[in-house]
Amino acid sequence: MLTFDLGIAYVWEFDEEFVSLIEKKLQLTGLTTFRVTQKNVFEVTEKIKNRQLLFRTFLDRASDVEDDFLPLARILARRKVKIFNPYKKILHAIDKATMHLEFITAGLTVPYSIIIPPHSQAKELFVSVDDLEILGRPFIIKPCNTTGGGIGVVKGAESLKEVLTARQKHSDDKYLIQEKVYPKMLDGKRAWFRCYWAFNLPVCVWWDDETHIYNLLTDIEIETFGLKKLFQLTRTIRRITELDFFSTEIVLTEKNKFIVIDYVNDQCDMRLKSLHPDGVPDEIVSVIINSLKLSILREKRINR
C-alpha cells in the first residue's frame, strides 16, 4: 500500500501556489504529500477504497465546493484519518445564522442582525420599522450559506425592497440583514483584522475591508493598540466550530469594542502577496504552513 503523510484536495486554480509551497516545505522535512485534483479524484477515491493508497492526514479544500470529492472525504472520515476541516463540521460552521446565535451564546459581540427565512419557504417578509431603525442605513445583506468572495453580499443596502430582491438570488438560503460596522483608525489604518486559526495557532493580520490589502500585524502594534483580544476571540471561535483551519474578520470600533464580522471562512484565500497585490503576506503563509507541518508530525507520532 502506498502511504503519504498528507493528501491535499483542491479545485481552485489559485490554490496551486499554496499547495506547491506546502509540498516544498513539507518534503524538505521528509514528509510525503499527494495532490488530489479534478483530474485524478475518481482514480484516487477508488484506490483509497481498495486500500491501495493511504493518507495519514488530509487537507480538504474541495469537498464543500465540488461534490466529486465527497465520496473520498467520507471514506477517509470513516477510517478515522485526520482530516483538516471535516466536511460535517464545515457545513455547521459556514451557516452564518447558526454561527450568529452560537457566537452570542459564547459571549462574542456580533453586529445587530435579523435572520430571515429562505424565499423558497416564505415569500412574504415581515420586518418591523423598529428593526430597520436599529439596523441603521446603510446595512448589509448576506446569504447564510452561500460563501466565498462576497457572493450574494450587498454592502450598502438602504431599503427593504433591496432585501426582497437580494433574497430571491439564492432562494433556498437563509439571509442575515446586518448593521454596518465602522472601524476606528489606528495610526492611519482601519482597525479591521483578518484572524486565522491555523492548525492549533491563532494568527492575525491587518486587512482593509475597502482595499482588501493585507499588512503584517507586529508585536509592538499588538501591545500599543491593545489587540491581544484578537487572539482570544479566534481561540473562542475555534472552540465553537472545531475547525482546524479558518479565518474570521474582527473589527475594533471607536467605542473600543471588538466585533466579529465575517464569522467563519473555511476556505481561506492563500494567494501570496508577492504574486498578488491583495494576497496574504508571504510570511503569514509560511507561518500557517509550518503550523500545518507540526500538526502532521504530531499525528504521525500519535499513530506510530
Q: In the chain, what is the straight-line distance between the N-terminal and C-terminal CA atoms, in Å?
A: 16
pLDDT at 157: 75
* pLDDT tens series, the chain, 304 aa: 899 999 999 999 999 999 999 999 999 999 999 999 999 999 999 999 999 999 999 999 998 889 999 999 999 999 989 999 988 898 889 888 889 999 999 999 999 888 877 777 766 666 766 777 777 788 888 787 765 555 557 777 777 777 778 777 777 777 888 888 999 999 999 999 999 999 999 999 999 999 999 999 999 999 999 999 999 999 999 999 999 999 999 999 999 999 999 889 988 999 999 999 999 999 999 999 999 999 999 988 877 6
Strands 33-36 and 2-10: parallel
Helix (H) or strand (E) holding 234: helix 229-241
pLDDT at 148: 53
pLDDT at 147: 54
- Are the C-beta atoms of 280 and 271 separated by less than 8 Å? yes
Judge residue 125's burial from the number of C-beta atoms within 10 Å of its C-beta, 0-12 exposed, 13-18 middle, 19 or more buried.
middle
pLDDT at 199: 96
Q: Which residues of 15-37 are buried (b: 16+ CB within 10 A; e: fewer)?
A: bebbbebbbebbeeeebbbbbbb
pLDDT at 44: 97
pLDDT at 150: 55
Residue type, 203: V
User: Measured between alpha carbons, how far is 166 from 254 in angstroms, rounded to an integer?
Assistant: 30
Q: Look up residue 55 and give its three cell numbers.
A: 493518507
Q: What is the pTM of this model?
A: 0.88
Q: Which residue segments constitute the domains of the chain, with CATH numbers given? A: 2-85+288-302 (3.40.50), 112-179 (3.30.1490.20), 183-265 (3.30.470.20)
pLDDT at 257: 96
Nearest to 85 by CA among 302, 267, 285: 267
